[in-house]
């Protein structure tokens, strides 16, 4: 019942599909007319014949167009309709696990805590999800705006720009295939539904909903793919899902994610490098500064886990009011222990911004 907005926004993919179908049909009509044109020069008798046989086709076409939307919509209607009163955010678990660990759950909770009007969809790249595991149970019991969904990937990718890449190429053999799969899913999801995408290693510290249509830079010059918003149907995401399969490279870690966003945005903004991009050139799309989500650059990730004096609960100087979320570089930091009773920056952030998850965290997490 609270899902009206979501439902009404969904027929759009069908219209878009119809647009291409219409062009295809129009092309066919043009070919037919050209053929008719040649026949005029050939023979008057044949012209009459051609007229009789070819003129019916445009009317068939418009009938087909009039009747097709419902049929096409039924065919294309995605079984996943992520409904929400307000904005939607998507987070993907793509490593094949059926639950979230404490740090991932903390990321989800912090998003839901600071953005009560955003429905946070935690999507698993397989259908099997252990919803009675302690982390998932805690999230869904404590937050009305968190949904956990196990996804059938074949269904999810069907009809998308990445379907062929997903089903028929050997991407799974690449050295960075888990990262690249995750890149593929964030762009596919935002092009299908629009909304926010966040990595599962960001602790949100304030609301993000003031910001729309953005990516963030992690160093001032290059794009990052860990925090993105795109309105439904935004051309930047359409460009991203077209670029992905066309320029896919299995052997370069950043090529299909951060670098892809860099390629797409410089093109969209008409600039040579991302540092020249601005709101006007990018027609309302933003490149948020590094402080927004990457206040600590990845080579300094240990900053989050360094032991500090018991009394040292001072706020770090990098935690300014510009920070929306703190990316803690899980790919590098996952093995580093966080002590529940410590004043490590990671622990301090978790204690404040994911209180329910923190309450179930073991002494070392």
Ligand X SMILES: *[C@@H]1O[C@H](CO)[C@@H](O)[C@H](O)[C@H]1NC(C)=O
Binding site for ligand X (CB under 6 A): 95, 97, 101, 104, 116-117, 130, 132-134, 207, 209, 310-311, 339, 341, 363
Q: Cα–Cα distance between 348 and 12 in angstroms, integer?
A: 44
- For residue 2, the minimal CB distance to ligand X (Å) is 12
* Two structure tokens written together for 181: 């799969």
Distance, in Å, from the CA atom of 341 to the CA atom of 354, rounded to the nearest integer, reads 15
Place of tokens 């008057």: 44
- Residue 275 tokens read as 């540092």
Residue with tokens 């360094």: 306
Of 58 and 207, CB closest to ligand X: 207
Taking the complex as a whole, how short is the minimal distance between the CB of residue 338 and ligand X, in angstroms?
11
Estimate the crossing angle of helix 258-269 against helix 235-246, to 10 degrees: 130
Q: How far is the CB of 286 from ligand X (least distance, A)?
A: 19
The SS3 of residue 252 is coil
Of residues 5 and 95, the one with the C-beta less far from ligand X? 95
Q: How far is the CB of 126 from ligand X (least distance, A)?
A: 12
**The pair of three-digit structure tokens given for residue 196, joined into one six-digit string:** 């926010």
Residue matched to tokens 């886990």? 305
Q: Which of 303, 335, 333, 334 is nearest to 317 (CA)?
A: 303
Cα–Cα dist 241/191, whole Å: 7
Q: CB 307 → ligand X: shortest distance, Å?
A: 10
Residue with smaller CB distance to ligand X, 208 or 236: 208
Sequence-distant (6+) residues with CB within 8 A of 253 are 176, 179
Shortest Cβ 110–ligand X spacing (Å):
15
Beta bridge partners of 292: none
**DSSP letter (8 states) at residue 314:** P
Least Cβ distance, residue 130 to ligand X (angstroms): 4
Reported in sequence order, the residue ranges of 221-262 that DSSP labels E, i.e. its strands, are 223-230
Closest to ligand X by CB, 136 vs 236, is: 136
């Amino acid at each position: 019942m609270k899902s009206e907005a979501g439902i009404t926004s969904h027929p759009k993919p069908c219209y878009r599909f119809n647009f291409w179908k219409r062009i295809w049909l129009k092309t066919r009509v043009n070919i037919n007319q050209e053929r008719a044109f040649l026949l005029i020069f050939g023979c008057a008798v044949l012209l009459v014949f051609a007229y009789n046989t070819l003129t019916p086709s445009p009317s068939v076409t418009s009938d087909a167009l009039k009747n097709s939307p419902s049929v096409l919509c039924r065919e294309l209607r995605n079984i996943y309709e992520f409904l929400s009163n307000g904005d939607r955010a998507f987070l993907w678990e793509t490593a094949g696990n059926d639950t979230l660990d404490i740090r991932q759950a903390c990321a989800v909770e912090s998003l839901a805590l600071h953005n009560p009007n955003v429905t946070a969809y935690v999507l698993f790249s397989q259908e099997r999800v252990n919803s009675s595991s302690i982390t998932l149970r805690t999230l869904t019991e404590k937050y009305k705006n968190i949904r956990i969904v196990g996804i059938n990937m074949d269904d999810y990718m069907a009809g998308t720009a990445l379907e062929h890449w997903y089903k028929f190429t050997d991407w799974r053999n690449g050295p960075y295939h888990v990262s690249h799969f995750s890149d593929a899913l964030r762009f596919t999801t935002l092009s299908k539904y629009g909304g926010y995408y966040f990595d599962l290693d960001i602790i949100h510290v304030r609301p993000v909903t003031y910001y729309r249509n953005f990516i963030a830079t992690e160093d001032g010059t290059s794009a990052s793919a860990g925090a993105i918003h795109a309105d439904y149907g935004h051309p930047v995401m359409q460009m991203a899902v077209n670029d992905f399969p066309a320029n896919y490279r299995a052997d370069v870690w950043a090529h299909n994610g951060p670098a892809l966003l860099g390629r797409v945005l410089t093109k969209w903004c008409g600039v040579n490098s991302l540092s020249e991009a601005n709101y006007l050139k990018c027609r309302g799309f933003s490149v948020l500064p590094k402080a927004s989500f990457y206040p600590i650059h990845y080579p300094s990730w240990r900053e989050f886990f360094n032991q500090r004096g018991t009394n040292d609960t001072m706020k770090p100087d990098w935690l300014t009011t510009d920070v929306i979320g703190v990316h803690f570089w899980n790919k590098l930091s996952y093995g580093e222990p966080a002590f529940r009773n410590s004043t490590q920056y990671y622990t301090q952030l978790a204690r404040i911004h994911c209180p329910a998850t923190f309450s179930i965290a073991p002494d070392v997490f």
